[in-house]
Amino acid sequence: MREITYRQALNEALAEELERDPDVFLMGEEVAEYQGAYKVSAGLLQLFGPKRIIDTPISENGFAGLGIGAAMVGLRPIIEFMTFSFSLVAFDQVVNNAPNMFMMSGGQFNIPITFRGPNGPAHQLGATHSHATENFYASVPGLKVCTPATPRDAKGLLKTAIRDDNPVLVLEAELLYSSKGMVEPPDEELLIPLGKAEVKREGSDVTVVCYAQTVPIALKVAAQLEEEDISAEVVDLRSIKPLDERAIFDSISKTHRVVIVEQDHPYCGVGAEICYRIQKDIFDELDAPILRVSQEDVPMPYNEQLEHHVLPNAEKLFAAVKKVCYA
């Protein structure tokens, strides 16, 4: 194991899959000559050439559709959106074409395409560049959605997504690109299955369900709670769809309390779906009502202090956990 950044882990995943399979190619705005808006594709143009690392015009709907067409004839495109807020321009391709083509063709066309890029609010990007899109896409039959929070998960989930025969969205956490973590060396194959959550910290008093940018917040709060004799178990979903119900239920059956912290809005959010499944299947395991910590239900402000107020943060999560534990 060695310590690398989230950005380096993604770069390794891309390089390894491009090397392994000649049908894989990367396409998007600034992925080649500029080496990626966030330098995730650094060095790939030099290694694989302009036929496999392809710069595109600023036309998300166009190059997303081109990728779907390439997937229909047997290639395995990786489409980078400079931000998933821009994927909304390609909503018709991602939602209406990619996930439906297999069924509507009577099984004649698999669509082995990966859509990837930064998702969710970052820092002072304003309302139009701060969308957390996981709840949009997870509601669409035929799409798989994963949300890696660590360098190891980023590499393993991206490699798995590229090999999947269905459309997969890898929603990367922009604020975590420079974060570091331990990852297997390149000569060891790292594949993390979609739909498999991970307990990032063991605990006995309360379960904190989180994903993406809320994972480091949850781990920070769990350490603070330990000083007050509250033992928090942190469950990182890693995949929003498929969702690892079993991991969530097993943890709650141990702790009997749960707080869900999510980076998207509360109305029709990921946390709402998880709440429904918990109360439907293991209601009797709960010793307290389920609480959620999410964005406020407003467009993202640019002002730094207002942005902090709108976002889920450690202070809000700490208070929610204390409340659910009646502390």
Sequence ranges of the domains in the chain: 2-183, 198-324
CA-based nearest residue to 230, from 321, 104, 123: 321
CATH of 198-324, one of 3.40.1010.10, 3.40.50.920, 2.40.30.10, 3.30.420.40: 3.40.50.920
Q: pLDDT band for position 236 (50/70/90)?
A: very high
Q: What is the predicted pLDDT for the residue at 232?
A: 98
Long-range residue pairs from 133-137, CB within 8 A, at least 24 positions apart, any chain: 133/84, 133/85, 133/87, 133/88, 133/171, 134/171, 134/211, 134/212, 134/240, 134/263, 134/264, 134/270, 135/264, 135/265, 135/268, 135/269, 135/270, 136/95, 137/94, 137/95, 137/169, 137/241
Q: pLDDT band for position 283 (50/70/90)?
A: very high
* End-to-end Cα separation, the chain, in angstroms: 40
CA-based nearest residue to 136, from 124, 119, 148, 122: 119
Q: Compute the mean pLDDT over every residue in the chain, rounded to the nearest whole number.
A: 97
Q: Confirm whether 2-183 and 198-324 share one CATH topology.
A: yes
User: Coil, helix or strand for 234?
Assistant: strand
| Alpha carbon distance 36, 58 (integer Å) | 14
User: Coil, helix or strand for 307?
Assistant: helix
Residues 122, 307 contacting (CB under 8 angstroms): no
| Among 120-129, 144-153, 312-321, the least confident range | 120-129
Residues 116, 80 contacting (CB under 8 angstroms): yes
Q: pLDDT band for position 327 (50/70/90)?
A: confident
Active-site residue flag, 60: yes
| Alpha carbon distance 81, 91 (integer Å) | 12
Report whether pLDDT(216) > 90. Answer: yes
**How much of the chain, in percent, has pLDDT values that exceed 70?**
100
Which of these is catalytic: 12, 16, 17, 129?
129
- In the chain, what's the furthest Cα-to-Cα distance? 60
Q: What is the predicted pLDDT for the residue at 194?
A: 98
Residue 152 CB neighbours (<10 A): 20
Which of these is catalytic: 60, 134, 262, 307?
60
**How much of the chain, in percent, has pLDDT values that exceed 90?**
98
CATH of 2-183, one of 3.30.310.50, 3.40.50.970, 3.30.70.270, 3.40.710.10: 3.40.50.970
pLDDT in tens, 144-199: 999 999 999 999 999 999 999 999 999 999 999 999 999 999 989 999 999 999 99
pLDDT in tens, 38-58: 999 999 999 999 999 999 999
Angle of helix 314-324 versus helix 214-226 axis, rounded to 10: 50
Q: What is the predicted pLDDT for the residue at 172?
A: 97
Token pair of 185, please? 């060396």
Integer angstrom CA distances of residue 124 from 302, 311, 327: 5, 11, 34
| Alpha carbon distance 318, 185 (integer Å) | 36
Active-site residue flag, 304: no
Give me the mean pLDDT over the 279-284 stretch. 97
